[in-house]
Amino acid sequence: MKIFNTLTMHKEEFVPLVPGKVSMYVCGPTVYNLIHIGNARPMIVFDTVRRYLEHKGYEVNYVSNFTDVDDKIIKAANEEGVDSSVISERYIAECKKDMEGMNVRPATIHPKATEEIPYMIDMIDTLIHSGHAYPKNGTVYFRTRSFGGYGKLSGKNLDDLRSGFRDLKVSGEDEKEDPLDFVLWKPKKEGEPSWQSPWCDGRPGWHIECSVMSKRYLGEQIDIHAGGEDLIFPHHENEIAQSECASGKEFAHYWMHNAFLNIDNKKMSKSLGNFFTVRDISEKYDLQVLRLFMLSAHYRSPLNFSAELMEAAGNSLERIRRAAARLNDLLAANAENAAGTDDEAKIAEIRAFVDKFDEKMDDDANTADALSVIFDLVRFANINITEESSPAVTKAAFDTLNELCDILGIIALKKEEMLDADIEALIEERQAARKARNFKRADEIRDQLKDMGIVLMDTKDGVKWSRK
């Protein structure tokens, strides 16, 4: 598999640090509101990269954080008159709902910045003692020029940045040894959450958070660090500087960045009225449509969101689902058919689509071309799998379609949504089974409903239910 490495600006053969294992860190959202569709692109893209690595047999340790202390979170908390943790926990829960709707699998761990503060203080202390950072009136700054490799990810030159530093919105420039030095720790202000440190009661800078969470859960060196291209500078550049000065080792071997998402060829902006949350989109579309739309372009290509393109993605998803439903029906219809003399050749022809799919994904996770392979398989199955096909060939087509879709996080076979009356009838049957002490049947009904996305809640007022 080849990955375009932002660090070298070349496609490189992926070789993990530990054979058979992949350590991957993806910068997560700042949780002060519902996530928007710009947040959704890296979530979907790098979830897909993870799924593909697992398909190739790697054990992936996938870490994606929640930034749960930030100026915007504090501002929202002060406006509501609540603790900032109330805001962050609310929107972490909402984010997880949206991720589930987009079929983004939970990370191996989702660390929260506020739970890692002692480790941030330790890293800052290490940087101070090694001469890479310095405290000044309670604030701790990183000595940017102390790291000789600064700019290697973004391609920016320190002297050019220095000459244009007045355009950078930095505070406390008179305290800094150099205007390009950045904050590792800052004193608290009125109405802000704070933690004790050797320098003052305060909170960490944004950049140090990801360096520490990556080190804590993946180690000092990791295989892949990923996120949106807007994070290349200064966030990821500063992460490299801190991490490599603290450890003396290369931080991340491969850097992957997705391109921007535009709305009707314009940058998404609340002032332009073209700002959409994932929740907004879910009110108009199945979020599987959003996922397929996001994967319909290469992750490094700018992507334009429009109603027309979403409609096209919806039609594409429906085409896949019709093929999957047809094959599912044929599995039952063909169950008694005799084996064919050419079954082995047909199954090999079907499985060849997996090799074609892998070839596309091996080329820097080219999901757009991988999707085209899925549509080639759909076309093949629609023409060649009939009521006369053998059970083995029918199953090979059905399983292969589901396998490839699952790697992209596309749910090919949509679960039938039960009618409310049918749900109520099953709940009544379950209650009757429990009264009759037929707990086996009661458990079977509960599991059946769970599989259909129905959650049961036993309350003092009887059984309540909801759809997932």
Rg (Cα) of the chain, in Å, rounded?
A: 26
User: What pLDDT, on the 0 to 100 scale, is given for residue 447?
Assistant: 80
156 and 230: one domain? yes
User: What pLDDT, on the 0 to 100 scale, is given for residue 410?
Assistant: 98
340 and 435: one domain? no
Rounded-to-5 percentages of helix, strand, coil across the chain: 50, 15, 35
User: What pLDDT, on the 0 to 100 scale, is given for residue 265?
Assistant: 85
How far apart are the C-alpha atoms of 142 and 238, rounded to whole Å? 9
Task: Decide if 330 is inside a domain.
Answer: yes
Task: Decide if 263 is inside a domain.
Answer: no
89 and 202: one domain? yes
* Predicted confidence pLDDT, tens digits, the chain (468 residues): 999 999 999 999 999 999 999 999 999 999 999 999 999 999 999 999 999 999 999 999 999 999 999 999 999 999 999 999 999 999 999 999 999 999 999 999 999 999 999 999 999 999 999 999 999 999 999 999 999 999 999 999 998 887 655 444 444 456 899 999 999 999 999 989 999 999 999 999 999 999 999 999 999 999 999 999 999 999 999 999 999 999 999 999 999 999 999 998 888 877 777 889 999 999 999 999 999 999 999 999 999 999 999 999 999 999 999 999 999 999 999 999 999 999 999 999 999 999 999 999 999 999 999 999 999 999 999 999 999 999 999 999 999 999 999 999 999 997 765 567 778 888 888 888 888 888 888 888 888 887 777 878 777 778 888 765
Task: Decide if 212 is inside a domain.
Answer: yes
89 and 223: one domain? yes
| Domain total of the chain | 3
398 and 431: one domain? no
249 and 108: one domain? yes
243 and 385: one domain? no
Q: Of 41, 45, 49, which Cα lies nearest the Cα of 224?
A: 49
User: What pLDDT, on the 0 to 100 scale, is given for residue 170?
Assistant: 46
Cβ contacts of 295 within 8 Å, gap of 6 or more: 44, 45, 48, 367, 368, 370, 371, 408, 410
Task: Decide if 106 is inside a domain.
Answer: yes
Cβ contacts of 319 within 8 Å, gap of 6 or more: 375, 378
- Answer with the one of 242, 258, 274 that is the final residue of a domain: 258
User: What pLDDT, on the 0 to 100 scale, is given for residue 266?
Assistant: 87
What region, left, alpha or beta, does residue 139 occupy, with left being phi > 0 and alpha being psi -120 to 50 degrees? beta
User: What pLDDT, on the 0 to 100 scale, is given for residue 269?
Assistant: 75
Task: Decide if 272 is inside a domain.
Answer: no
356 and 453: one domain? no
Task: Decide if 174 is inside a domain.
Answer: yes
447 and 363: one domain? no
247 and 352: one domain? no
The two three-digit tokens of residue 14, written as one number: 């992926």
- CATH number of the domain enclosing 401: 1.20.120.640
Task: Decide if 458 is inside a domain.
Answer: yes
Please, which residues bridge with residue 203 across strands? 186
Look up the domain containing 212 and give its range. Answer: 2-258
Cβ contacts of 461 within 8 Å, gap of 6 or more: none
Task: Decide if 285 is inside a domain.
Answer: no
332 and 384: one domain? yes
User: What pLDDT, on the 0 to 100 scale, is given for residue 167?
Assistant: 43
Strand pairing of 21-26 and 222-228? Answer: parallel
- Answer with the one of 382, 407, 432 that is the final residue of a domain: 407
* DSSP 8-state code for residue 192: -
User: What pLDDT, on the 0 to 100 scale, is given for residue 417?
Assistant: 58
The two three-digit tokens of residue 57, written as one number: 């047999």
353 and 428: one domain? no
* DSSP 8-state code for residue 122: H
